[in-house]
Amino acid sequence: MSTIRQQLASPLQLLALATAGIILLPLGYVTAQALSADPAVWSRLWATRIPELLFNTVSLAASVAIITLVLGVSTAWLVTRVEFPGRRLWEGALVLPLAMPTYVLAYVYSYLLGFGGPVEHLWQLVAGPQARIFSPHSYGGATLVMALDTFPFVYLLSRSALLSMNVSFEEVARASGVSRLSTLWRVTLPLMRPSIAAGVALVILYVVSDFGAVSLLRYQTLTYAVFQQMTGRSDNTAASILSLLLVGLALIFLITERWFRQRSRFYQTTGHYRAPQRHRYGWLGTLAVTGYLGLIVGAAFALPASLLIQWSLSPEAQATIDSRFFGFVWNSGILAASAATAGVLIGLPLAYLASRRPTMLNLGCLQAAYAGYVLPGPVAALAVLVLFTKLAPIFYGSVLILIVAYVIHFLPAGLQSLEPALQHITPNLEEVARTLGLGMRDTWRRVTLPLVRNGFVVAWVLIFLQTMKELPATLLLRPVGFDTLAIRVWMEASEEYFQLAAPSALLIVLLSLPALALLISKDWRAA
């Protein structure tokens, strides 16, 4: 009894509860809408659309998860455990695809691989004029684009884990005569498991809630169907039903990931570590590694980026660059920065409470915060719109409403890195600081905060990047005259005006680069 009262009395607790409440409101709205629907609508959807959509969504998520797992972990291992010329360069370059929105990659690939596109022309030179290549507007195309775009999530978190991992575990294994490969398999990978699981979960949630790429590639997933329902129909019943399924699906993924992480909770014994010894490769190995990394970075970033530059330099595209264009740039930047700041400030107490006081209530609040990511952008947007007009009409039509939707939608991306960051610090450190006479406040300032700074920065940058690229919620909620770069890309690319879309797409990439630079910069890694 008294513990409950104590918990409730903490303002941090109240803050966490309030946040969870606000984030759960849209979910509640959608659930209520879906459950109050006429059973006839349910059975019609079951008979026609749902099996196909579920199958498409799950199989896309599964294939992308497997590919990103392989790409992400292997690249992270190469840049942290192997020494080869240009290693530092590749270390940064592997993050670059995060600056490339999926829908931009999708439109570049639908041009490259599309009917009568350059790749097909090349292929026809080899295989005869009637030869066709596989269509990018397919399961394969969607998998390729989504995997190339999202593997850096796994890479980043795996790399973080490999860098902050106490190398003595591996050294002990090696000293006891365990082979290099076996050490990797039995020591390193298991230690990385929480980070890998977090990365893959991020990828899966990203894939199931993606709208831009699947719609440009005409691959029917639940989220795409929801957007079609919302923009093509005046009542949102069917959209709500499909959303509820989507939420259910994402919850299953999340619970699986939690379960993985619960089973493998590791603490570092010290915040200080020695850089791991990097194995040096010969020229053959170097060539192979460089080729492998070059292929990935080339396909996911260099090739699309150079096409964007080429398109942007065309006279048609140049004509679109005027004062309006710079307005879009400003809008995008300010929105993304505000959402990222708000997201981190809101996420920190949630993650802190859940990892330091894992009561049912705190864990519940944290799980609630993950709800936003599984609500497809358009539905989160609609729910926010309705709630705002009912509860706080004064903010209606302002950017605040957009920021709330972003925070709800992308907080999980931030939490995914805040949480492991907090988990990695053993509570002993804080306890020692306390027994040595440091007050709670000083402990937080001098021990906890410096230790979580990495996670903090990563969280901010991830939210910033995702907001910059966000499409469906922005489409539905943007105030009048507040178009962003993402909107401009979408307007042009969805009508295949690739050249006209290019300057905005390129600008999104350029604006994202400083944020990414922050991600890979040295000074926070040393902390």
Partner 1 sequence: MPLVYSLPALQRTILSSLVLLFAAGIFAPSASAADTLTVYSGRGERLIKPVLDAFTANTGIQIELLSSGTTELVNRLKAEGDRTSADLLITNDAGSLELARTAGLLRPLNMREIDRAIPSQFRAPDNAWVGLSGRFWIVVYNRTMVEPNQVKSLLDLADPKWKDKIAIPNSGSEYLQAGVSVILSTYGEEKTRQFLQGLKSNADTQIYQKSSQIVEAVAKGQVPLGIVNHYYVYRYLATQPEAPIAVLMPDQQEGGMGAIMNVAGVGIIKSTKHLDSAKLLVEFLVAQAGQKLFADLDKEYPLHPDVKADPALAERKSFRAAQVPLTKLAELREPTLTLIEQVGLR
Which residues would be at the binding site for partner 1 (CB under 8 A)?
6, 9-13, 44-45, 47-49, 115-116, 137-138, 215-216, 218, 220, 225, 228-234, 238, 334, 338, 341-342, 345, 382, 385-386, 389, 393, 395-401, 403, 439-441, 444-445, 449, 475-476, 478-482, 491, 494-496
Kindly give the residue spans of alpha helices, DSSP state H, lying in 272-398. Answer: 283-297, 303-312, 315-318, 323-356, 360-369, 371-374, 377-391
Shortest Å distance, C-beta 286 to partner 1: 43
What six digits make up the tokens of 50?
């749902």
Nearer to partner 1, 301 or 352 (CB): 352
CB crowding 411-431: b at 16 or more within 10 Å, else e: bbbbbbbbbbbbbbbbeebbe
Shortest Å distance, C-beta 403 to partner 1: 7
Nearer to partner 1, 98 or 348 (CB): 348
Shortest Å distance, C-beta 10 to partner 1: 5
Shortest Å distance, C-beta 96 to partner 1: 28
One-letter amino acid at 324 equals R
Shortest Å distance, C-beta 326 to partner 1: 15
What six digits make up the tokens of 136?
């990018």
Asked if residue 112 lies in contact with residue 141, where contact means CB atoms within 8 angstroms, the answer is no
CB crowding 504-526: b at 16 or more within 10 Å, else e: bbbbbbebbeebbeebbeeeeee
Nearer to partner 1, 476 or 520 (CB): 476
Q: What is the DSSP string of 79-138?
A: HHHEE-TTHHHHHHHTTGGGGS-HHHHHHHHHHHSSTT-HHHHHHHHHH-TT--PPPSSS
Distance of CA 229 to the CA centre of its chain: 25
HEC states along 236-249?
CHHHHHHHHHHHHH
Nearer to partner 1, 127 or 334 (CB): 334
Nearer to partner 1, 68 or 220 (CB): 220
What six digits make up the tokens of 190?
């298991």
Shortest Å distance, C-beta 393 to partner 1: 6
Nearer to partner 1, 62 or 334 (CB): 334
Nearer to partner 1, 1 or 480 (CB): 480
Shortest Å distance, C-beta 496 to partner 1: 6
d(CA 304, CA 112): 9
- In total, the chain counts a number of residues equal to 527
Shortest Å distance, C-beta 495 to partner 1: 5
Residues 168, 171, 172, 178, Cα dihedral to 10°: 150
Shortest Å distance, C-beta 218 to partner 1: 7
One-letter amino acid at 129 equals P
Nearer to partner 1, 212 or 304 (CB): 212
Shortest Å distance, C-beta 57 to partner 1: 14
Nearer to partner 1, 276 or 397 (CB): 397
Between CA 182 and CA 188, with CA 183 as vertex, the angle to 5 degrees is 125
Nearer to partner 1, 300 or 475 (CB): 475
d(CA 79, CA 74): 9
Q: Which helix (H) or strand (E) holds 233?
A: none
